[in-house]
Amino acid sequence: MSTLSALRALRGLLPALRPEWRGMLWSYLVGTASALALAALTVLTAWAVGRAVVEGEPPGPAWWTAVIGLVVLRTVLTWQEMDVSHALAYRVLARLRMALFDAYARSVPGRRREHSGRAATVAMGDIEKLEFFYAHTVAQLGASATVFLAALATATALLPEAGAVMLVGSAAVAASAFAWARTARRLGEEEQRERSALSARMVDALGALREVLAYGLAPRIVDETDAATAGAVVTTRRRELVEQLVTALRELIVTAVVIGVIAVSASAAGVLSGAGAAAPPGGAGAALSPALLPALVALAVAGVAATTEAATTLTRLHPLVAGADRVAAGINRPPVVSEPTAAREVPRGPLGLRFRQVDFAYDGREPVLASWSAELAPGEHVGLAGPSGAGKSTAVALAARLWDPAAGAVELVGADGRGVALSDLDDAGLRGAVALVDQDATLFHGTVRENLLRGSGPRPDAELAALLERVGADGWIGLDDDLGESGVRLSGGQRARLCLARALVREPRVLLVDEVTASLDPATERAISDVIADYDGTVLIASHRAQTLARCDRVIGIAAPADRDRQPGLL
């Protein structure tokens, strides 16, 4: 990745800061004041010591007041600055998390059929790592620049040569921020990749535990994890060495500045020019009193330190670039459905469903549906049959408006026979009228009641309990039972029953069912088919099972397009 695209990736992070400009400004002001207080403290101390040594004069009460005041002020300001900047960063991170959610809400499931769960995990982890960027970058760089300019101005006023040395030194320090930047970015990326590969392997091993134990593969897995960790350690060590090298380089420059300032002030004080010890220091013609030397050195160090801090911050950003890129990619995922400009209401009464000349293709693949049309009358139960990959699941997903068709339209048809395209409908209205029972039978953690009520208003418990009974779930689970993560405690059949119940809670006028009976035992399949057959509304059910299709009023066949790759399940 080039420096330019790295900068672009970081710039992509800035819009999230826009609502925080007040906090940023405050953070900048407090940070600048705090850094100036520190610089003033060291310079004042050095000045007093220099004067006491050269002229034997202790500082007066004004000095004491200033110094003690600065110590207290600096403490309070440091605390305040970190408080403001961290609170700001946490607000931004919370906002990014929600932005990621919003982006996924617009764009998942993707038409590319990628494994979005993994990308989401990575992006979530990356967001947390951006805390450094938001808490320590923009306002702090500004504060560093201000402090540097103040120190430079003061030093130049005291001794222009010293100012020149500082300027050159700071320029060198600033340039060091880009030293080995490419290597640092590459190593940061490599570290991240090794980390996620290792984590994937560990999850696999835990998932196949039975097999692992049966063949005594555990030692081999442990060895492999060990080797992967060792590899990651090498990468970490290399990244840290690069960082340390840059830091050391910077320290060398700071040292050079100190030496330079001492040398130019020694020369200005007339020490180096009069060959030997002849010239009395601070004598006639000397541009600088030696009493000011410690203060000048302290000033130079404070000024260059500000630049150093800024450069260090920039260096620490390089390994974050890859993460920033992924977060930006997550937040800017292209939406899969468009917002209607003027949303229309769902027609009243029983609804039919019409596919009109529908085209659809997954990204980068041959079209799945080409000019495909079908129509379901209100109240009709229709089966959708066809071989794997023919587009059954795609048709159901289009009817649920997970995607919009590339051409043609999917419409809800009112009693008068007039259709309204799904893409013109108000989303809440559409979701209230159309329910989907998907292949994966996705449940969420929380109680059964919470799952049943997802997306619909409150319902009396008695009604929910009756529904559980209707799908044959009343025997083994109650409304208050906790499902655990993704309903892991339940079997496929149990999950399918709950998903069906959840779809029915909303009393949809159109019920879409995708292959829900594919992996069920015959008893569950029968029970579910019974409930669907009794359902009073329009039903579209995609299945390849004869028993399921036999109970529909009518079956529509979808032929597999010739020589197309066999495709895995939809979601």
Partner 1 sequence: MMIVRELWREAARFPAALAWSTGLLALVFLTHAAQAVAIAWSMSAVLRGRPEDVLAALALIVGIALARTALSLVQTSAAAGLGGRVRQALRRRAMRAALVPERLHDTAARDGSMRAALGDGIDGTDAYVSKYIPAIAQVFLACPVIVAALLVLSPAAGLCVAAGIVLALLGPMAWKRMMARRGLDHWDSYEALSSDILESLRGMAALRALGDVPGTRRRLHTRSEALRRATERVMRVSLAETAVIDFAVQAGVVAAAAAALGHAAAGQGPAIEVYLILLLSSEAFRPIRDLSRHWHAGFLGLTAIPGLARIGAFAPDGGLPESGARERAAASRTPGGPADGPTGGRAEELRVSGLGFRYPGARDDVLHDLTLTARRGSLTAITGESGAGKSTLFDLVLGFLTPAAGGITLDGRPVRPDDVAVVSQRPVLFAGSIRDNLALTRPGDGPGRDPDDADLADACRSAGILDEIRRLPHGFDTEVTEAGTNLSGGQRQRLALARALLARRPVLLVDEPTSALDAARAEEVVDTLHRVARDRIVIMVSHRPETLTGAADVLRLEAGHLERSAP
3-state secondary structure of 109: coil
> ∠ at Cα 310 (306, 315), nearest 5°?
145
Contacts of residue 388, defined as CB under 8 A and 6 or more positions apart, other chains included, come to 544, 560, 566, 567
Closer residue to partner 1, CB minimum distance, 8 or 279: 279
Alpha-carbon distance of 265 to 255, in angstroms, equals: 15
Closer residue to partner 1, CB minimum distance, 153 or 213: 213
197 sits near partner 1 (criterion: CB under 8 A): yes
Q: Which of 1, 263, 407, 533 binds partner 1 (CB under 8 A)?
A: 263
* Torsions phi, psi for 94 (to 5 deg): -60, -40
Q: How many residues bind partner 1 (CB under 8 A)?
A: 150
Closer residue to partner 1, CB minimum distance, 361 or 518: 518
Name residues contacting partner 1, limited to 538-557 (CB under 8 A): 544
Name residues contacting partner 1, limited to 8-67 (CB under 8 A): 38, 41, 45-46, 48-49, 52-54, 56-59, 67
Alpha-carbon distance of 436 to 336, in angstroms, equals: 18
Alpha-carbon distance of 231 to 224, in angstroms, equals: 11
Provide DSSP, 44-84.
Answer: HHHHHHHHHHHH-----HHHHHHHHHHHHHHHHHHHHHHHH
Alpha-carbon distance of 557 to 383, in angstroms, equals: 8
CA-nearest of 90, 188, 177, 101 to 134 is 90
Closer residue to partner 1, CB minimum distance, 8 or 256: 256
CB of 287 to partner 1, least distance (A): 13
Alpha-carbon distance of 185 to 2, in angstroms, equals: 9
485 sits near partner 1 (criterion: CB under 8 A): yes
CB of 94 to partner 1, least distance (A): 5
- Region from 17-25, 109-117, 138-146, 553-561 binding partner 1, contact rule CB under 8 A: 109-117
CB of 18 to partner 1, least distance (A): 18
Which amino acid is it at 503?
Answer: A
Alpha-carbon distance of 300 to 154, in angstroms, equals: 10
255 sits near partner 1 (criterion: CB under 8 A): yes
Torsion of CA 10, 16, 21, 26, to 10 degrees: -70
- Region from 13-21, 253-261, 358-366, 526-534 binding partner 1, contact rule CB under 8 A: 253-261
Closer residue to partner 1, CB minimum distance, 200 or 406: 200
Name residues contacting partner 1, limited to 169-188 (CB under 8 A): none
94 sits near partner 1 (criterion: CB under 8 A): yes
Q: Which of 5, 199, 332, 357 binds partner 1 (CB under 8 A)?
A: 199
Closer residue to partner 1, CB minimum distance, 4 or 275: 275
295 sits near partner 1 (criterion: CB under 8 A): no
CB of 211 to partner 1, least distance (A): 4
Query: Would you say 557 and 385 are in contact if contact means Cβ atoms under 8 Å apart?
Result: yes
155 sits near partner 1 (criterion: CB under 8 A): no
Q: Which of 269, 376, 464, 539 binds partner 1 (CB under 8 A)?
A: 269
201 sits near partner 1 (criterion: CB under 8 A): yes
Read off the tokens for 150: 């103040």
560 sits near partner 1 (criterion: CB under 8 A): no
- Region from 105-113, 138-146, 417-425, 553-561 binding partner 1, contact rule CB under 8 A: 105-113
466 sits near partner 1 (criterion: CB under 8 A): no
In the sheet where 367-376 sits, what is the strand order?
Answer: 367-376, 352-361, 407-413, 419-421
Q: Residues, the chain, total?
A: 571
- Region from 121-129, 354-362, 404-412, 466-474 binding partner 1, contact rule CB under 8 A: 121-129
Closer residue to partner 1, CB minimum distance, 156 or 486: 486
